[in-house]
RNA sequence: GUGGCUAUAGCUCAACUGGCUAGAGCGCUGGACUGUGGAUCCAGGUGUUGGGGGUUCAAGUCCCCUUAGCCACCCCA
């Protein structure tokens, strides 16, 4: 029988690393609270159609990276590759607009994409995301970007760049796409095969091409931000003005288009030079047509999602450099050592009582020698070891050993809790 | 989906151009210490050398296939 490993592109998060994840998740929740976003949890799988309609059936994510399967009832389901479509779906399904607008929501959890694993890229990875539904103001775009930055600043990540662009709306984009397509038509035979395909189907993605031989032509391509309608232009200008107002540096990136079809107007990414080839810490933008695409009434939306693994990659790298210690493993306040069957029973009763009082209590489970039980207490880094032997039991006392000092005192069982408490 | 590099004990790594029973440190378990941890000493490894096939008198070492990891393309978080 061959041993089974975790599937390709997935990973086990073991202690003590799991403590780091809890810490990171805590920071995200704290930022959410400070900006007053509420948590939403949606299923890990959805009807495949949600992503086809929401994310776009021509996108790489949908057409070649989804984990899609038929369930026993013949439904086509897909492990969620991203979070925004499901949030929009839930917003619509539960008429969340009735709670008042805008709805400010955040989520945290695993996403699934069938991709070749690489530095900072996995088949199951974890994202946190913030979404605002029902508000179209530029102020909200700026708040969402600020939330992302707040998370990274709280984590102590200093080196990052905010990339910003606007890709227009349903009114002005068709016009821009026509201009873009036309500008590239003379060079079509010199562009790569991907670009030729994009030229026909999804010209916006032309700007995303990294093929060196295409760059000379794409560099001359007209910019979306230069071909916006009046409303989109003033929205984009307002976003930039407000970012300047709060002194948040950003870089205009005319070639930033993002790989999901639901975006309109503002798109942004935060990248880090400390990441490697997959350098996006988070990405997002406005999606004013998404809810309508899913069958709801027109509802503006804006949000972003960031990768937990990538944030962690920078965090652990930085901590290694500063030789910051790993978060301490779960540490018992009290470790109970017992000698003999009666002492074992007393230890069981005592552990209940001490835990009831809020102490972290661990104990030995077998009847090994005092020496080896103390070794366990030591390895677990217990603050106090409470030793109950038959002698102590007869006299109604226990030995309380303060491990760091190697000192122990005799305490009556009735005053044990009070004694441990005064020691803090 | 494409390419490059890699795979030896739980971890980090040895093993001359193919050659004896594949070793070391750390960790882990037990003991010395039958009621006192950390230090010290001693003992403890059936590792399918990732898996499969091939070449050879002989393969951890060479060849092929495969799986996985890392890195890059692509795309993104």
pLDDT digits (tens, 9 = 90+) for A277-311: 899 999 999 999 999 999 999 999 999 999 999 99
Whether the predicted pLDDT of A3 surpasses 70:
no
- Nearest by Cα to A272 from A119, A110, A104: A119
Can you tell me the mean pLDDT for A327-348? 87
Given a contact cutoff of 8 angstroms between Cβ atoms, the answer to whether A362 and A330 are in contact is no
- What pLDDT score was predicted for residue A1? 43
B31: residue with closest CA to C1': A372
Rounded distance between C-alpha atoms, residue A340 and residue A348, angstroms: 13
Question: How far in angstroms lies nucleotide B63's C1' from the CA of residue A203?
Answer: 48
Query: pLDDT-based confidence at A352, cuts 50/70/90?
Result: very high
Query: pLDDT-based confidence at A327, cuts 50/70/90?
Result: low
Question: How far in angstroms lies nucleotide B42's C1' from the CA of residue A422?
Answer: 43
- What pLDDT score was predicted for residue A369? 85
Which residues are paired to A126 by β-bridges?
A: A110
Question: How far in angstroms lies nucleotide B8's C1' from the CA of residue A280?
Answer: 37
B77: residue with closest CA to C1': A307
Rounded distance between C-alpha atoms, residue A164 and residue A149, angstroms: 14
pLDDT digits (tens, 9 = 90+) for A42-68: 999 999 999 999 999 988 999 999 999
Mean pLDDT computed over every residue of chain A = 92
Tell me the nt nearest to A195, Cα to C1'. Answer: B74
Q: Which of A87-91, A143-147, A150-154, A373-377 has the lowest mean pLDDT?
A: A373-377
Tell me the nt nearest to A402, Cα to C1'. Answer: B37
Whether the predicted pLDDT of A21 surpasses 50:
yes
pLDDT digits (tens, 9 = 90+) for A104-116: 999 999 999 999 9
Question: How far in angstroms lies nucleotide B27's C1' from the CA of residue A198?
Answer: 55
Question: How far in angstroms lies nucleotide B58's C1' from the CA of residue A28?
Answer: 61
Question: How far in angstroms lies nucleotide B56's C1' from the CA of residue A145?
Answer: 66
- What pLDDT score was predicted for residue A210? 76
Tell me the nt nearest to A410, Cα to C1'. Answer: B36
Tell me the nt nearest to A404, Cα to C1'. Answer: B38
Tell me the nt nearest to A120, Cα to C1'. Answer: B77
Question: How far in angstroms lies nucleotide B74's C1' from the CA of residue A379?
Answer: 48
Phi, psi of A388 (to 5 degrees): -120, 105
Q: What percent of chain A has pLDDT above 90?
A: 71
Q: Give strand B nucleotides closer than 7 A to any protein Cβ.
A: 1-3, 28-38, 48, 67-77
What length is written for chain A?
424
- What pLDDT score was predicted for residue A114? 95
Question: How far in angstroms lies nucleotide B73's C1' from the CA of residue A192?
Answer: 14
Domains of chain A, each with CATH number or no CATH: 17-172+228-321 (3.30.930.10), 334-422 (3.40.50.800)
- What pLDDT score was predicted for residue A323? 64
Q: What is the arrangement of strands in the sheet containing A103-112, beginning at the earlier edge strand? A: A38-39, A103-112, A124-133, A301-307, A280-286, A264-271, A161-166, A251-252
Q: What percent of chain A has pLDDT above 70?
A: 97
Question: How far in angstroms lies nucleotide B48's C1' from the CA of residue A44?
Answer: 39
The 10 Å Cβ neighbour count of residue A416 is: 20
Question: How far in angstroms lies nucleotide B76's C1' from the CA of residue A281?
Answer: 10
The 10 Å Cβ neighbour count of residue A276 is: 13
Q: Where are the alpha helices (DSSP H) in A52-172?
A: 60-64, 84-93, 138-154
Tell me the nt nearest to A5, Cα to C1'. Answer: B68
Cβ-in-10-Å burial (0-12, 13-18, 19+) of A401 comes to: buried
Question: How far in angstroms lies nucleotide B66's C1' from the CA of residue A352?
Answer: 54
Question: How far in angstroms lies nucleotide B16's C1' from the CA of residue A119?
Answer: 37
DSSP helix/strand/coil, A409: strand
Whether the predicted pLDDT of A128 surpasses 60:
yes
Question: How far in angstroms lies nucleotide B53's C1' from the CA of residue A1?
Answer: 19
B30: residue with closest CA to C1': A372
Tell me the nt nearest to A401, Cα to C1'. Answer: B36
Given a contact cutoff of 8 angstroms between Cβ atoms, the answer to whether A266 and A147 are in contact is no
DSSP helix/strand/coil, A68: strand
Query: pLDDT-based confidence at A80, cuts 50/70/90?
Result: very high
Tell me the nt nearest to A343, Cα to C1'. Answer: B35
B68: residue with closest CA to C1': A8
Query: pLDDT-based confidence at A97, cuts 50/70/90?
Result: very high
Tell me the nt nearest to A111, Cα to C1'. Answer: B77
Query: pLDDT-based confidence at A201, cuts 50/70/90?
Result: confident
Tell me the nt nearest to A129, Cα to C1'. Answer: B77
């Amino acid at each position: 029988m061959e041993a089974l490993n975790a599937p390709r592109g997935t990973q086990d998060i073991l202690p003590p690393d799991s403590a780091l994840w809890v810490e990171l998740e805590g920071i995200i929740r704290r930022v959410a609270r400070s900006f007053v976003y509420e948590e939403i949890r949606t299923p890990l799988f959805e009807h495949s159609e949600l992503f086809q309609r929401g994310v776009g059936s021509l996108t790489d994510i949908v057409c070649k990276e989804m984990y899609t399967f038929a369930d026993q009832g013949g439904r086509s389901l897909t492990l969620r590759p991203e979070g925004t479509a499901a949030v929009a779906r839930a917003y619509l399904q539960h008429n969340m607009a009735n709670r008042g607008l805008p709805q400010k929501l955040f989520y945290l959890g695993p996403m699934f994409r069938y991709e070749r694993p690489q530095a900072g890229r996995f088949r199951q990875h974890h994202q946190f995301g913030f979404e605002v539904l029902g508000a179209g103001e530029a102020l909200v775009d700026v708040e969402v970007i600020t939330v992302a930055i707040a998370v990274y600043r709280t984590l102590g990540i200093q080196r990052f760049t905010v990339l910003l662009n606007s890709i227009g709306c349903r009114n002005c984009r068709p016009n821009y796409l026509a201009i873009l397509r036309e500008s590239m038509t003379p060079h079509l035979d010199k562009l790569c095969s991907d670009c030729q395909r994009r030229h026909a189907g999804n010209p916006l993605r032309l700007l995303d091409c990294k093929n060196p031989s295409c760059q000379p032509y794409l560099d001359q391509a007209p910019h979306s931000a230069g071909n916006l309608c009046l409303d989109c232009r003033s929205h984009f200008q307002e976003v930039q003005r407000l970012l300047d107002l709060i002194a948040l540096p950003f870089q205009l990136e005319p070639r930033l288009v993002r790989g999901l079809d639901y975006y309109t107007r503002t798109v942004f990414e935060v990248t880090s030079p400390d990441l490697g080839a997959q350098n996006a810490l988070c990405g997002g933008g406005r999606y004013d047509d998404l809810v309508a695409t899913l069958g709801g009434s027109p509802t503006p939306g804006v949000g972003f999602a960031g990768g937990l693994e990538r944030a962690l990659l920078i965090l652990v790298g930085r901590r290694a450099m500063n030789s910051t210690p790993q978060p301490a493993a779960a540490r018992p306040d009290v470790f109970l050592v017992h000698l003999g069957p009666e002492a074992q029973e007393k230890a069981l009763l005592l552990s209940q009582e001490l835990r009831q009082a809020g102490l972290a209590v661990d104990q030995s489970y077998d009847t090994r020698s005092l020496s080896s039980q103390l070794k366990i207490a030591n390895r677990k880094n217990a603050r106090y070891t409470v030793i109950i032997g038959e002698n102590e039991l007869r006299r109604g006392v226990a030995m309380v050993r303060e491990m760091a000092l190697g000192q122990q005192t005799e305490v009556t069982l009735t005053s044990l809790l009070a004694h441990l408490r005064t020691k803090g």
